[in-house]
Amino acid sequence: MRLLAAFTLCLWLLGYLPLQAHASASVQPDKGLYLVTEPWPPFMHPKLPHQGLMTHIVQVALKRMGINLKLLFIPWARAIQMVKNGEADGIVGIYPTKQRKQYLTFSDPVFVEQNALYARTDDLVRFAHIDDLKPYSIGVVRDAANGEPFDSATQLNKVLLTSNQQSIDMLLLNRIDLLAGPERVIEYLLSTQFPERQQELVRLTPIIGRKALSVAIRQQYPDAKAFMQQFNEHLAALKQDGSYDRIIKEHGVKLLSDDRLLK
């Protein structure tokens, strides 16, 4: 009797295990996804409708996958560290870089943003090449990617800060000479947080970077590649059925300029 029971158990396991292996190879529809990001208006912010334009797009794509988004807003350097440590599944609104691709799986581009330098309007700052920036102190958000060759230019005097809003504060207080940051985020913060002083700052040309904003998840996330493939398919469907353009129009985000890139 015991031998029969053991034989039956073995047969059951042989049939069960392949089913388990197959199930683990697909994205589970009832699973919540825990992502992190920094307040980065108009793309991501806890007080904006749908928590911002990019969050809105990501929410709709994940909803079509049957997945609920759980999003935590924290300083950028902390967000990066949480993903590295496995405390979060991934991150929203991140630029792909060679270093980040070592531990993250990236989605197709959700948006394209460009990064620029800003100066006080009473300072005559002109530059054409990276070395022209040597005389200046430049505020940058810690662990942010602005673009090459700016990011790898160790000869520059970069002041590490916690947020784009702090960069604006420091520039207005004359504690740094320039700030580097995402154009539409800086413009949004100037118009909403510094409306009486936005004319005191000016965006410089050339821009220092133009990159794709993506969603990324840890490579250790279960079936990360399969998950991202499904996300990309739903993102493409949003663009094809007109939902993507309707959401952009709803949030009123302006188009990018066409300035040349820094060499």
pLDDT tens, position by position, 218-251 = 999 999 999 999 999 999 999 999 999 999 999 9
| CATH superfamily membership of 114-210 | Periplasmic binding protein-like II (3.40.190.10)
CB distance 109 to 213 below 8 Å: yes
How far apart (Å, rounded) are the C-alpha atoms in residues 111 and 123? 32
How far apart (Å, rounded) are the C-alpha atoms in residues 197 and 190? 8
- Provide the b/e sequence for 74-105 (b: ≥16 CB within 10 Å): ebbbbbbebbeeeebbbbbbbbbeeebeeebb
Q: Per-domain residue ranges for the chain? A: 32-112+211-251, 114-210
Res. 258 pLDDT band, cuts 50 70 90: low
Q: What is the pTM of this model?
A: 0.82
**Both ends of the chain: CA-CA distance in Å?**
79
The confidence score (pLDDT) of residue 17 equals: 38
Average pLDDT value for residue range 181-201: 96
| CATH for the 32-112+211-251 domain, from 3.50.50.60, 3.40.190.10, 3.30.1360.20, 3.30.56.10 | 3.40.190.10
Hey, is 236 helix, strand or coil? Answer: helix
How far apart (Å, rounded) are the C-alpha atoms in residues 136 and 140? 12
Alpha helices in 52-160 (DSSP H): 53-64, 76-84
Hey, is 40 helix, strand or coil? Answer: strand
Task: Give the bridge partners for 69, in sequence order.
Answer: 33
Q: What percent of the chain has pLDDT over 90?
A: 82
How far apart (Å, rounded) are the C-alpha atoms in residues 52 and 41? 7
The confidence score (pLDDT) of residue 153 equals: 97
